[in-house]
Structure 1
């Protein structure tokens, strides 16, 4: 094995592991997406999604709301749950 090949496996103790990337969501975009889901639910007379999409929104909607300030996130989650209860399967 050549020295270049051996160097590929050498450890460099002075190099720190890469820090995970930080993602800061665009809060206006988050609000637009949350509002789109709520608008769809407000206009519906029954749940407008199949079970897979329903399950997706049950998980993702609250997670997206968490990107917002706490009080605003709470309001979005409460309205979502209220609409879901009104329309539930």
Structure 2
């Protein structure tokens, strides 16, 4: 960008969001994320129990796609052995429900 005055004598003609200088936007400071594994565990076990108790898919198509993606990611907050077991059990139940439809 060329820093030249505009016809109304404003300098520069357009402020830069990414240029150098004091008018540059600053990135927000990183936020610390604190996750309670106990809360994650309760949520995942609740979802697994919902799947186990169902004869057919208990969630809408949209929600089922979301849980199929999010459940394994949420399990990342738990110890590896527990996370892997919950992922396995959820995938097994999910496949059972897909075949029941």
| 1:10 and 2:12 correspond | no
Q: 1:24 aligns with which of 18, 21, 34?
A: 34
Counterpart residue number, 1:86: 96
Q: 2:48 aligns with which of 33, 38, 41?
A: 38
Return structure 1 stretches of 4+ with deviation > 3 angstroms. Answer: none
TM-score (norm 2): 0.69
Q: What is the alpha-carbon root mean square deviation over aligned residues? A: 2.1
The structure richer in helix per residue is 1
**Superposition deviation, residue 59 in structure 1:** 1.1
Which structure: larger Rg?
2
TM-score, normalised by the number of residues in structure 1: 0.77
Gaps of 5+ in 2: 1-9, 11-20
How many residue pairs are counted as aligned between the two chains?
79
Q: Point out where structure 1 has 5 or more consecutive residues left out of the alignment.
A: 2-8, 12-16
- Superposed displacement of residue 71, structure 1: 0.9
